[in-house]
């Protein structure tokens, strides 16, 4: 069942809720409200994710890393799209990508483009430097 959308639909604020409430505060209830029923996501390699795969990917991130601090470096909104360049710091406290917890603090950077529809994420394109993340863990 799809939860009602978040009432505050100003594009930048809506996308910031993902970084602040979902990633930093680990609130999956907010993620369920942000992601639309027909959501499609594209990872750095171009692979598609549906709503459930996207939510599962965020859950795996939460399981693999303790407190995450995200810094929004730039954010630009135009029409139904919001582009965010961000960086993050987290500690590897649980298994992630087949790698046992190392306790290491890692840094990650990326750029996301969110397309909004009706106060929800309809699409997201992610460009994340996963190679650098994995190199910090091994």
Instruction: Give yes or no for residue 4 having a pLDDT over 70.
Output: no
Q: Taking the CB of residue 63, how many other CB atoms lie within 10 A of it?
A: 11
Q: pLDDT per residue over 103-121, tens digit each? A: 999 999 999 999 999 999 9
Instruction: Give yes or no for residue 57 having a pLDDT over 70.
Output: yes
Residue 10 pLDDT: 85
When pLDDT is averaged across residues 15-28 and rounded to a whole number, the result is 96
Instruction: Give yes or no for residue 1 having a pLDDT over 90.
Output: no
Residue 45 pLDDT: 87
In DSSP notation, 69-118 reads EEEEEEEEEETTEEEEEEEEEEEE-S-BTTB-----EEEEEEEEEEEEET
Instruction: Give yes or no for residue 130 having a pLDDT over 90.
Output: no
Sequence-distant contacts of 87-95: CB under 8 A, at least 24 apart: 88/23, 90/65, 90/66, 91/65, 91/66, 91/67, 92/64, 92/65, 92/137, 93/64, 93/65, 93/66, 94/63, 94/64, 94/65, 94/66, 95/63, 95/64
Q: How far is CA 111 from the centre of its chain?
A: 10
What is the second-level CATH architecture of the domain 11-137? Roll (3.10)
């Amino acid at each position: 069942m799809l939860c009602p959308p978040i009432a505050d639909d100003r594009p930048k604020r809506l996308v910031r809720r993902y970084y602040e409430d979902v990633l930093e505060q680990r609130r999956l209830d907010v993620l369920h409200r942000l992601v639309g029923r027909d959501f499609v996501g594209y990872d750095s390699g171009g692979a598609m994710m549906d709503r459930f795969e996207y939510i599962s990917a965020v859950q795996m991130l939460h399981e693999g890393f303790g407190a995450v601090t995200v810094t929004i470096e730039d954010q630009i909104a135009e029409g139904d799209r919001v582009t965010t360049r961000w960086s993050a710091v987290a500690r590897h406290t649980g298994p992630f990508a087949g790698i046992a917890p190392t306790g290491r603090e890692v840094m990650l950077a990326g750029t996301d483009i969110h397309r909004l529809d009706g106060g929800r994420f309809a699409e997201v394109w992610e460009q994340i430097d996963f190679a650098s993340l994995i190199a910090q863990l091994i």
